[in-house]
């Protein structure tokens, strides 16, 4: 039992675990040398929105463990579903075989999105790869092999594998690998932080959509798809934009026969206040990429859903016209079962409605932060809050993170942007704690 596993361990030196981790594990998105001075945080267990270390110290997981967790750690309902699945079927090859969780999940995602034919991968970046390849291959199967280019938004993020990185526009991830990447085109972002003084987010979105339309007008012959993050550009520092941009982007894609790929890897599953973010523009993309929250933060899984017309372009007697793409763990039964438990919670607890009420209460509660003179661009979309800290020192993100840990909160600023992306089970007490801690840290920085 895990209890024994950890009890024996607790007797050992914690430091030992950190050193062993530094020696044996190459941690993601990390300059490992920094861990000479910045200790790793050892986590023993999680419960609800809290993580606990081996000394019983706790941390509020205000970033949902990199935006994946929806209903807390060790959620009893997801746990029960997984335990049941574990004793039934853990995994089976999905080529030539099928199983109940993958079928049910695909049906339910289709009901929710109005798209279908779910194709599975194991993480967000692989969903991006799948959508890009499918779009290109669709045009080829339809006799338009010249449509090979992809357009994305400035500051967009779609994952870090070589294909996904080509449509990503975040310098720190991209610059080093530029010689490996196929050139993509970025059109200006509708993120309203870049609006002219006095320009409304909507007017700015309309202006930037005109830039997009101009680009597609010139380049549609060679363009397969536009890929974007609906409403919130996460890795750009929670850059938010008006839904009118999505509506106009959809119209421009229709006008010039270019696919629209909605990367809802971060914003899907209720994050922005609707089940999918693109619903707020009353549009439907041609491809929908999902991951992160799909399993409630339990297991790696991603899915790409598409239109019937796209599927039909691959449905053929000829093998090579099919989508010959695969990942070993495609449609993993355990991961799909976790995803089904997540969808059950959404339905049974009416999570979208409940979150709307929570968002309203939290917005009231966070007024002192919103009005803080040191902060700029306080913004909210569903269960995401973000703001910039003016005059932040160069090592702000790292120092803020360390100060957060001291105050029982886990926050990882992006540059001088602080954001909250808590699991949906977070309560008012915890949000109040979060705000008090952040105000305290900001005062600390002033000294």
Ligand X SMILES: *Cc1c(COP(=O)(O)O)cnc(C)c1O
Minimal CA–CA distance to 342: which of 119, 105, 113? 105
In this structure, the number of other CB atoms found within 10 A of the CB of residue 30 comes to: 12
Q: Is residue 293 within the footprint of ligand X (CB under 6 A)?
A: no
Q: How far is the CB of 44 from ligand X (least distance, A)?
A: 25
Residues 239-268 that bind ligand X (CB under 6 A): 263, 265-266
Looking at the Cβ atoms of 99 and 126, the one nearer to ligand X is: 126
Q: How many residues does the chain have?
A: 447
Q: How far is the CB of 275 from ligand X (least distance, A)?
A: 16
Q: What x-and-dash track marks residues 364-403 binding ligand X by CB under 6 A? A: ----------------------------------------
Q: How far is the CB of 134 from ligand X (least distance, A)?
A: 16
For the range 372-377, what are the long-range contacts, defined as Cβ-Cβ under 8 Å and sequence gap of 24 or more? 372/439, 372/442, 374/442, 374/446, 375/442, 377/193
Q: How far is the CB of 159 from ligand X (least distance, A)?
A: 4
Residues 99-138 that bind ligand X (CB under 6 A): 123-125, 128
Q: How far is the CB of 292 from ligand X (least distance, A)?
A: 6
How distant, in Å, are the alpha carbons of 152, 178, 249, 274, 426 from that of 262?
A: 11, 24, 11, 15, 27
For ligand X, which residue of 291, 306, 355, 381 counts as binding (CB under 6 A)? Answer: 291
Q: How far is the CB of 143 from ligand X (least distance, A)?
A: 31
Q: How far is the CB of 133 from ligand X (least distance, A)?
A: 15
Minimal CA–CA distance to 157: which of 23, 248, 281, 66? 66
Q: What x-and-dash track marks residues 57-86 binding ligand X by CB under 6 A? A: ------------------------------
Looking at the Cβ atoms of 66 and 378, the one nearer to ligand X is: 66
For ligand X, which residue of 46, 101, 163, 234 counts as binding (CB under 6 A)? Answer: 234
For ligand X, which residue of 101, 159, 201, 230 counts as binding (CB under 6 A)? Answer: 159
**Chain residues that interact with ligand X, rule: CB under 6 A:** 123-125, 128, 157-159, 229, 234, 263, 265-266, 291-292
């Amino acid at each position: 039992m895990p209890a024994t596993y950890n009890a024996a361990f607790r007797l050992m030196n914690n430091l030992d675990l950190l050193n062993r981790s530094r020696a044996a594990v190459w941690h993601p998105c990390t300059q490992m040398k920094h861990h000479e001075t910045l200790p790793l945080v050892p986590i023993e267990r999680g419960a609800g929105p809290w993580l606990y270390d081996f000394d019983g110290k706790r941390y509020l997981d205000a970033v949902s463990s990199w935006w994946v967790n929806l209903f807390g750690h060790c959620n009893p309902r997801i746990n029960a579903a997984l335990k049941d699945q574990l004793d039934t079927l853990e995994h089976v090859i999905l080529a030539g075989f099928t199983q109940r969780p993958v079928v049910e999940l695909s049906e339910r995602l289709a009901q929710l999105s109005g798209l279908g034919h779910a194709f599975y991968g194991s993480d967000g970046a692989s969903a991006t790869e799948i959508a890009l390849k499918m779009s290109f291959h669709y045009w080829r199967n339809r006799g338009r092999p010249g449509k090979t280019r992809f357009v994305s938004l400035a500051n967009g993020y779609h994952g870090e594998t070589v294909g996904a990185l080509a449509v990503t526009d975040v310098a720190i991830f991209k610059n080093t690998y530029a010689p490996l990447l196929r050139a993509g085109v970025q059109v200006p972002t509708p993120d309203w932080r870049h609006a002219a003084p006095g320009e409304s987010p909507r007017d700015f979105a309309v202006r930037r959509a005109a830039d997009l339309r101009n680009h597609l007008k010139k380049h549609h012959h060679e363009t397969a798809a536009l890929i974007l993050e609906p409403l919130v550009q996460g890795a750009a520092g929670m850059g938010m934009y008006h839904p009118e941009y999505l509506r106009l982007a959809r119209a421009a894609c229709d006008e010039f026969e270019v696919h629209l790929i909605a990367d809802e890897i971060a914003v899907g599953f209720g994050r922005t206040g609707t089940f999918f973010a693109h619903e707020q523009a009353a549009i439907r993309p041609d491809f929908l990429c999902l991951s992160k929250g799909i399993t409630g933060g339990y297991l790696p899984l991603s899915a790409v859903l598409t239109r019937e017309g796209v599927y039909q372009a691959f449905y053929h007697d000829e093998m090579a016209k099919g989508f010959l793409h695969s990942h070993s763990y495609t449609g993993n039964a355990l991961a799909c079962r976790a995803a089904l438990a997540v969808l059950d919670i959404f339905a049974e607890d009416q999570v979208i409605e409940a979150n709307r009420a929570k968002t309203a209460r939290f917005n009231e509660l966070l007024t002192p932060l919103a009005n803080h003179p040191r902060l700029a661009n306080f913004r909210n979309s569903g269960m995401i809050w973000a703001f910039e800290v003016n005059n932040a020192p160069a090592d702000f993100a790292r120092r803020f993170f360390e100060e957060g840990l001291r105050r029982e909160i886990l926050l990882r600023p992006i540059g001088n942007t602080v954001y909250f992306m808590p699991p949906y089970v977070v309560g008012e007490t915890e949000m109040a704690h979060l705000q008090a801690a952040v105000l305290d840290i900001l005062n600390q920085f002033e000294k």
